[in-house]
Amino acid sequence: MTVTEQTLALFGGIVVVLIVASLIGFLLQRRYAAEGPNAVIDNLNTRIKAWWVMVCVISFAFAFGKAGLIALFAFASFTALREFITLLPTRRGDHYALGAAFFIVLPLQYYLVWIEWYGLYSILIPVYAFLLLPIVAALRGDTTNFMRRVAEVQWALMICVFCISHVPALLTLPIPDYEGRQVLLIAFLVLVVQSSDVLQYVWGKLLGSRKIAPLLSPSKTVEGFVCGVASASLIGAALWWVTPFEPWQAGIMALIINLMGFLGGLVMSAIKRDRGVKDWGHMIEGHGGMLDRLDSVIFAAPIFFHITRYWWTI
């Protein structure tokens, strides 16, 4: 199969799944929620509708290839960074550093991904931005909570720009006998990790009883975590045909990124609890903000990128 045929087959399968999910949601609504609102069913249907929108947006980006995907994730980074910074107690002395983060570091990071300069995009934020932003902030002369303010902005850049940029950076990997198909690695990563989130939610509602991290994410259960990660890892193994991996390798890679996605979700939940909010934003109905939707991908993407680069590239 050509890359176009594989992409169409993959997205065709996703559309079929969404159609089935929409039908199930409709039937559940008719049967159990006809006489009044049902929080679980309403939430499920809202999530399904949001998934339709997100799949359409991602499909549109895929249609434009490398340029579309880099533009999509650059926009995701900008939106996520805005959500993150909005929850921080910034001061006037941070304005120049924040301006540099939004309008210099972020576009430069994605430009380096575009020109495939791995040697620089891999260290731009953790080295150069890490050193530059405190200098810019210090020159403003505002020392109140200086260390905390600088660390929060650096964390925001790492989470919202550096980590997310590793998704389109998959396009730059020179994998033998896989030339021109790297776009399918992005589909594999996003589909597997997001499937894990959905399946953890579904299994948790069906079987969940024991809370796995009640102080961080009260809705997550041991049963939901185990069954969701296992189910999504099997999905990853079944999708080996869109990757350069063997079926067992695809299953292991899926397990790794699903575990990282789960742990990343807990970290991002801890930040929200610290800030006293339930969601990062309200951009996506039923899913909160951009960071609420990408929290698991954020932690999975760099690991997936570097394992693939180390073991499968020239």
Which residue is listed with tokens 């999905």? 235
- For residues 152 and 37, state if they share a domain: no
**Per-residue model confidence as pLDDT tens digits over 106-158:** 999 999 999 999 999 999 999 999 999 999 999 999 999 999 999 999 999 99
Q: Which domain holds residue 171?
A: 66-312
Which residue is listed with tokens 């983060």? 101
- For residues 165 and 237, state if they share a domain: yes
- For residues 79 and 132, state if they share a domain: yes
Last residue of a domain, one of 41, 63, 85: 63
**Per-residue model confidence as pLDDT tens digits over 72-90:** 999 999 999 999 999 988 8
- For residues 32 and 180, state if they share a domain: no
Three state DSSP letters for the chain:
CCHHHHHHHHHHHHHHHHHHHHHHHHHHHHHHCCCCCCHHHHHHHHHHHHHHHHHHHHHHHHHCHHHHHHHHHHHHHHHHHHHHHHCCCCCHHHHHHHHHHHHHHHHHHHHHHHCCCHHHHCCHHHHHHHHHHHHHHHCCCCCCCHHHHHHHHHHHHHHHHHHHHHCHHHHHCCCCCCCCCCHHHHHHHHHHHHHHHHHHHHHHHHHCCCECCCCCCCCCEHHHHHHHHHHHHHHHHHCHHHCCCCHHHHHHHHHHHHHHHHHHHHHHHHHHHHHCCCCCCCCECCCECHHHHHHHHHHHHHHHHHHHHHHHCC
Residues of 126-147 as b/e, b for ≥16 C-beta within 10 angstroms?
eeebeebbbebbeeeeeeeebe
In sequence order, what are the residues at sequence separation of 6 or more whose Cβ sits closer than 8 angstroms to the Cβ of residue 151? none
Residues 170-199, mean pLDDT to the nearest whole number:
92
Last residue of a domain, one of 20, 38, 63: 63
Pull the structure tokens for residue 166: 């590793």
Question: Is 284 a residue whose pLDDT tops 70?
Answer: no
- For residues 129 and 49, state if they share a domain: no
With cut-offs at 50, 70 and 90, classify the pLDDT of residue 241. very high
Residue 276 phi/psi, 5-degree rounding, is 75, 35
Last residue of a domain, one of 46, 63, 80: 63
| Inter-CA distances, 244 with 182, 230, 247, 261, Å | 9, 21, 10, 21
Q: In total, how many domains does the chain have?
A: 2
| Inter-CA distances, 212 with 168, 205, 236, 242, 294, Å | 32, 14, 24, 33, 21
- For residues 206 and 161, state if they share a domain: yes
In sequence order, what are the residues at sequence separation of 6 or more whose Cβ sits closer than 8 angstroms to the Cβ of residue 114? 66, 70
Pick 47 or 304 by higher pLDDT.
Answer: 304
- For residues 186 and 274, state if they share a domain: yes
With cut-offs at 50, 70 and 90, classify the pLDDT of residue 50. confident
- For residues 92 and 50, state if they share a domain: no
- For residues 55 and 70, state if they share a domain: no
With cut-offs at 50, 70 and 90, classify the pLDDT of residue 215. confident
Pull the structure tokens for residue 167: 């998704």
Pull the structure tokens for residue 291: 């960071």
- For residues 156 and 301, state if they share a domain: yes
Residues 96, 98, 104, 108, CA torsion sign: positive
- For residues 33 and 73, state if they share a domain: no
Predicted structure pTM score: 0.91
- For residues 82 and 59, state if they share a domain: no
The answer to whether 282 and 247 are in contact (CB under 8 A) is no
